Structure 1
Amino acid sequence: MINKRNFYIDGKWVAPAVPNDFDVINPSNEEVCATISLGGQADTDKAVAAARDAFETWSFVSKSERITLIEKLLEIYNTRAEEMAQAMSMEMGAPMDLARQQQVGAGSWHIEGFLNAFKDFQFERPLGPQAPTERTMLEPIGVAALITPWNWPMNQIVLKAIPAIAVGCTVVLKPSEIAPLSGLLFAEFVDEAGFPPGVFNLVNGDGPGVGSQLSVHPGVDMVSFTGSTRAGIAISKAAADSLKRVSLELGGKGANIIFADANPKAVKQGVIRCMRNTGQSCNAPTRMLVERSRYDEALEQAQAAAEATTVGPASEEGRHIGPVVSELQYNKIQGLIEKGIQEGARLLAGGLGRPEGLNRGYYVRPTVFGDVTPDMTIFREEIFGPVLSIMPFDSEEDAIAIANDTVYGLTNYVQTEDDAKRERVARRLRSGMVETNGVGFGQGSPFGGYKQSGNGREGGVFGLEDFLEVKAVSGLAAE
């Protein structure tokens, strides 16, 4: 049994002010794999105070010194990558291959991206020839509270902690209490890298506890949150009384538009992409829109792809998908699958219950529905599981209208060999990201959404700017 009850505050591992044990459940077998403690107000106050004190010094540390420390952190991260993969696999159910290559890899990839963007980043810029003695200065906002989810633990922690620290903020991280082990391991890396005390702090806790305490805390200048839209709205309301800056990366209901001239493998690839990480990705292409002339063929291809998707324990290597993260998540997904059946969607693959041979663990059958319509719950709600909804469209206009008919606007997908059509459709989709023909986004690309998918952007120079204030200063010596 792993005992990880302590928090990382002011450069030290400290016991919680009041013990409040919380069991971490391995979703592959439903057994307790670790015990942490949930923090309280005293722990939150202590962490914020440490960050507040450290900010006065850290915000003026040279750019080169910060780069050196982040490079050291990256070196440690890569050296201890297997520990991180094991932790994430156990706590949130990522199969080992996925954990090593994508879950761990996302963290190192983003650290590298931030380092590349930061090396050329200018904190002072001339306004222009019309005002030769005026400069625009970009300064760290202050203490940033970082509240991260369980589905891509390192991806989300790195996307927040690294840019905040790089530009001179100090941070208090509250990782998901469901999958906290990776965050605690990251704190070990920070400590080993030698960051000054108080620059990075970690307090475990749940949303109503530490999460809410950070959202209203007078010593916190900014909250950066990734999670559900419901929780994002609650944090925004809580932070409004002190007018904190709030950056939100929330839910999604991505449309994957497959035109008749798309690659023959587009449907199969779309199913695989939807099922990746057991469907627990906010940017998953969970609504597949297929041009009618190709629709019947697409249904057959999607059914075959789903039936070929194997499910198994996260501890095993291979290309299978693992369990979903928790009993709560499992029950939610089962309820939405049942809703899809009741509302008349055509069940092509999967369905209710666990896959054959898996009687313990939060395993969900890879599920595909056809003939889904916009009035159905599974068209509207983010399921966050291995469930795909397919529907036909008749024209380009029709596809765009269906894709945009959602409160979300995170990522959409377009598949066509017609370059002009691909660009035309991408411009009209109301989302922060549009991936076309399976070409992934580059290092430093802005990650974020429109509408109820949130605000702000993460990654590269965009992520650095999210943690900065803008100051105009006049009357300085001309540069």
Structure 2
Amino acid sequence: MTEHTLTVAGVAVDPRHWIGGERVASAGTFTDVSPIDGRALGEVARGTPAEAAAAVAAAKAAFPAWAATPRAERARILHAIADGVEKRLEELAIVETTDNGALLRSHRRGVMPRVAHNFRFFADWSLTLDHEDFETRGHTNHVSWDPAGPCVLITPWNAPLMLATWKIAPALAAGNTVVLKPAEWSPLTASLLADIAAEAGLPAGVLNVVQGYGSEIGDALTSHPDVRRISFTGSVPTARRIAASAAPHLTPLSLELGGKSPLLVFADADLDLAVDLAVEQYDNAGQVCLAATRILVEETVAEEFTRRFVAKAGALVQGDPREEATDIGPTIHPRQLEKIDGFVRRAVEAGARAVVGGHRRDERFYAPTLLTEVAQDSEIVQEEVFGPVLTLQTFADEDEAVRLADDTRFGLAATLVTGDRERADRVTGRLTAGTVWVNCFFVRDLKAPFGGSRHSGVGREGGTWSFDFYCDLKNTVTAPKGWNDHG
């Protein structure tokens, strides 16, 4: 414990930056507030361009040695980080719940185990990277994945540590160094991860964490000439600013952005399954980029679907995310709550009808909401709300279902519920989405490509696709002769 340490839910957290293997303070701070009760958790170092530059310099200095470290040794250290995550899983879970308001039971059972799995998976996958040599007119082609250099990773507040390590793990496994900029609304578990990585033996400067506001340090990170990769998860407007900042140096980008995903329910579907999947979209208070917020139901079963949905949604428990019985926790921040409320108010003024919810419960919670009688070109159908707000529309046939599903500027995911396998094959082939789930939702494998189409993103990560991004692929062509062999 030091004078800088915060105590969050009984866990000591250092709120300073982590740069070059040392804790670094800033002249200014910002207040981190828990969405559970609005209580200030403490003051966190508020980064400036100077700290951003120092972090990139530390990453650049550490890069040659880490890039030269054998893959197997890098993998060993990543497994040691995973061990540290598992050892401190309960601490990470309660700190993240306190910091961002997501369910403690989810952090314990799913999210933090996935954090450890991110490190283990990409550590092991890095050891399998191989492309069979091939010949061209007697010459041998050999493909290799070379570390790219310092990477800037900018992560969101809705699943802070899981989404950060989804980027950190492949970047480090590839031999790169990292500067992580966590979201200012949920920065604390990134600080704990820095401690865990150091204890696992990750060399100084390989992982750096700079906290603060994107408007103040974002450009210093994304425009830096020594940065070789930028990965960002967040909003489309911020992605545009990052892309413009990175453009002068042609720094490659991976962008996982917003979604307005459809859930298509056909008349031949198992309606109980369809309702379960639809209500599941309220997970994490609707603060999930992949959420299927546009429910599209075949008109012949729409009335029955709605009746069952209203009953099931009405049984959800909204409250303290630390309680086992809670299904939906608070919205992350008052500004986000106001944004959600604005979307719903404007939709109702335009003619939408709230058959579930449609209002704030208080200054922390927005009631799970289902809006009907919405126009396809309306704001509530076209724009991402990022809250517990769903819309319901009907369709007459398969063609109309696909037309409505694809009629937004996004293309992150889609969910399809049908009892007809041939229909599932037809419809999934016509949908524009990076991921399509059929009769299921949120089944994710790290071997699979993940990303969005259209305004939902640029690029794919997962499995070898992650290493394709975080590496410079090289093809070495060797002639069959010209050697001076001396036996």
Tell whether 2:469 aligns with 1:466.
yes
Q: CA deviation at 1:28?
A: 1.2
Question: Which of 176, 184, 192 in structure 1 is aligned with 2:199?
Answer: 192
**Deviation digits for residues 35-57 of structure 1, max 9, x if unmatched?**
20111111111111111011111
Superposition map of 1:49-128 within 5 A: 49-122=57-130, 125-128=132-135
**Deviation digits for residues 301-356 of structure 1, max 9, x if unmatched?**
222222111210123222421001001100000001111211111210111221xx
Secondary structure of residue in 2 paired with 1:427: helix
Matches of 2:118 and 2:447, distance apart in 1:
7
The farther-off stretch of 102-111 and 465-474 is 102-111
Secondary structure of residue in 1 paired with 2:68: coil
Question: Which of 333, 336, 349 in structure 2 is aligned with 1:342?
Answer: 349
Tell whether 2:378 aligns with 1:368.
no
Matches of 1:48 and 1:179, distance apart in 2:
22
Tell whether 2:201 aligns with 1:203.
no
Question: Which of 413, 419, 436 in structure 1 is aligned with 2:421?
Answer: 419
**Deviation digits for residues 224-248 of structure 1, max 9, x if unmatched?**
0000111111101111111111110
1:421 to 1:130, Cα distance in 2 relative to 1, 3 A: farther
Q: CA deviation at 1:472?
A: 2.5
The farther-off stretch of 152-161 and 265-274 is 265-274
Q: CA deviation at 1:155?
A: 1.9
Superposition map of 1:259-274 within 5 A: 259-274=266-281
Q: Tell me, which stretches of 5 or more residues in structure 1 are unaligned? A: none
**Deviation digits for residues 233-276 of structure 1, max 9, x if unmatched?**
11011111111111100000010001111112133213332100
The answer to whether the Cα contact below 8 Å between 2:260 and 2:408 also exists between their aligned partners in 1 is yes
Matches of 2:110 and 2:325, distance apart in 1:
13
**Deviation digits for residues 393-437 of structure 1, max 9, x if unmatched?**
111111111010011100100111111111111111111100110
The answer to whether the Cα contact below 8 Å between 2:353 and 2:373 also exists between their aligned partners in 1 is yes
The answer to whether the Cα contact below 8 Å between 2:320 and 2:326 also exists between their aligned partners in 1 is no
Matches of 2:310 and 2:156, distance apart in 1:
31
Tell whether 2:47 aligns with 1:39.
yes
**Residue matched to 2:188:** 181
**Residue matched to 2:25:** 15
1:24 to 1:476, Cα distance in 2 relative to 1, 3 A: farther
**Deviation digits for residues 270-316 of structure 1, max 9, x if unmatched?**
33321001100000010000011101111212222221112101232
Q: CA deviation at 1:99?
A: 2.0
The answer to whether the Cα contact below 8 Å between 1:4 and 1:35 also exists between their aligned partners in 2 is no
Matches of 1:267 and 1:413, distance apart in 2:
10
**Residue matched to 1:394:** 396
Which residue identity is paired with 2:151?
A
Tell whether 2:291 aligns with 1:284.
yes
The answer to whether the Cα contact below 8 Å between 1:254 and 1:283 also exists between their aligned partners in 2 is yes
Matches of 2:299 and 2:382, distance apart in 1:
21
Tell whether 2:166 aligns with 1:159.
yes
The answer to whether the Cα contact below 8 Å between 2:167 and 2:231 also exists between their aligned partners in 1 is yes
Which residue identity is paired with 2:157?
W
**Deviation digits for residues 91-115 of structure 1, max 9, x if unmatched?**
1101211221233233123333323
Q: CA deviation at 1:203?
A: 0.7
1:370 to 1:69, Cα distance in 2 relative to 1, 3 A: same
Matches of 2:478 and 2:298, distance apart in 1:
61
Matches of 1:401 and 1:276, distance apart in 2:
27
Q: CA deviation at 1:12?
A: 1.7
Considering Cα pairs closer than 8 Å and 6+ residues apart, tell me whether 1 or 2 has the greater RCO: 1
1:35 to 1:127, Cα distance in 2 relative to 1, 3 A: farther
**Residue matched to 1:438:** 440
Matches of 1:333 and 1:374, distance apart in 2:
19
Q: CA RMSD in A?
A: 1.6
The farther-off stretch of 234-243 and 263-272 is 263-272
**TM-score of the superposed pair, with normalisation by structure 2:** 0.93
Tell whether 2:220 aligns with 1:213.
yes
**Residue matched to 1:405:** 407
Tell whether 2:56 aligns with 1:48.
yes
Which residue identity is paired with 1:371?
E
Matches of 2:155 and 2:134, distance apart in 1:
36
Matches of 1:95 and 1:430, distance apart in 2:
31
**Residue matched to 2:457:** 454
Q: Percent identity, aligned pairs only?
A: 34
**Deviation digits for residues 33-80 of structure 1, max 9, x if unmatched?**
122011111111111111101111111110110110011111111111
**TM-score of the superposed pair, with normalisation by structure 1:** 0.95
Matches of 1:302 and 1:191, distance apart in 2:
48
Which residue identity is paired with 1:72?
A
Which residue identity is paired with 1:292?
E
Tell whether 2:225 aligns with 1:222.
no
Secondary structure of residue in 2 paired with 1:37: strand
